[in-house]
Amino acid sequence: MGELDKIRNEIDAVDEEILKLLNKRANFALEVAKIKRSNKSKFYSPERERQILERLTSLNKGPLPNDALKALYREILSLSLSLEEPLKVAYFGPQATFTHLAALRHFGSSAEFIPVENIKGIFGVVDSEKAEFGVVPIENSTEGVISYTLDMFMDYDLKIAAEIMLEVSHNLLSKSGDKNRIKKIYSHLPATAQCRRWLESNMPGMPIVEATSTAKAAELASREEDSAAIASELAAKVYDLNFVESHIEDSKHNVTRFLVISKEACPRTGKDKTSIMFSIKDKPGALYDILLPIKKAKINLTKIESRPSRRKAWEYIFFVDMEGHIEDKKVRKAIKGIKDDCLYLKILGSYPHGGQ
């Protein structure tokens, strides 16, 4: 037997041991499910998943990189949860949108994913408890905040349970893969904006037809020989399209932040951020007065965004992200300190900082 055959036999033995351990873990998951049913507890525990991933990455000595380890274990955790009770997650569809990719990244492929045609619909599905969680885009590193998502928090009493950071890479796809055959391009408006310079330089004058999502753009292009779409690598696989050009985004550090929404508040993990929204009285120094208690508490603000309130002319709603959990004494004290100066104040949720 050669050296290669010996190593392959060793790998086979390791695979058999992994299989035994995975099934052993699955049996423990079923026992946990029985206990949760008897206690009427929630099956999905994001804080427990985070603890598992943090513990394993701290123990990992390689050569498997931590990102790969997280991705592998997220699938194991997703599969274990599906044995207990399938988790329903609504996302901005159809299949193969970047929101779908973000949902897969966070919940693993064993969850039951429900495509919804618009962001308002996702809030509605979660609010009506047809899904435990929803995934919505909130901002892009190059194009800024998605205002419509922020507006939905004014209409629905839902909490932010997590955030997902996804590196977004756009591709030009078509049935033939031949650039010279393209007569029009289907694209979602944010994707067009993120690829504007590339399109001007490489496809000047090409008609851009707006689609409701990057996945819808790919679906439309898959029906026409002379059309292309700006979409994800997953969309190429799902809709059987070929690559005309890869990585056409103008910024190579193109990151989109997604929020996981839920009816349930997220417990403290020790590495959290809190999001709030408020409107203030129209007087000189009003915003300064609001932010002063936060400054005095030495709380770091990671984001502040303003939007027209839609209720009164020249009245604005502010959206703020700050470090810490609402259960932290200094965060709770700071929010209490600004409450009296607000016309409206809503705590959107406390959740793990930076995703898993």
Judged by DSSP in three states, 280 sits in strand
Q: Is 256 a catalytic residue?
A: yes
Beta bridge partners of 184: 227
Q: What angle do CA 171, 227, 217 make, to 5 degrees?
A: 55
Select from 340, 298, 346 the least CA-distant residue to 322: 298
User: Of 256, 274, 278, 319, which one is the catalytic site residue?
Assistant: 256
User: Of 133, 153, 258, 318, which one is the catalytic site residue?
Assistant: 258
Q: Is 258 a catalytic residue?
A: yes
Pairing of β 112-116 and β 255-262: unpaired
Question: How far apart, in whole angstroms, are the C-alpha atoms of residue 261 and residue 90?
Answer: 10
Confirm if 171 and 243 have CB atoms less than 8 A apart: yes
Q: What angle do CA 164, 302, 136 make, to 5 degrees?
A: 30
Pure H helices in the chain: 3-39, 46-59, 66-84, 98-107, 119-127, 147-155, 189-194, 196-202, 214-221, 233-238, 286-296, 329-339
Catalytic residues: 256, 258
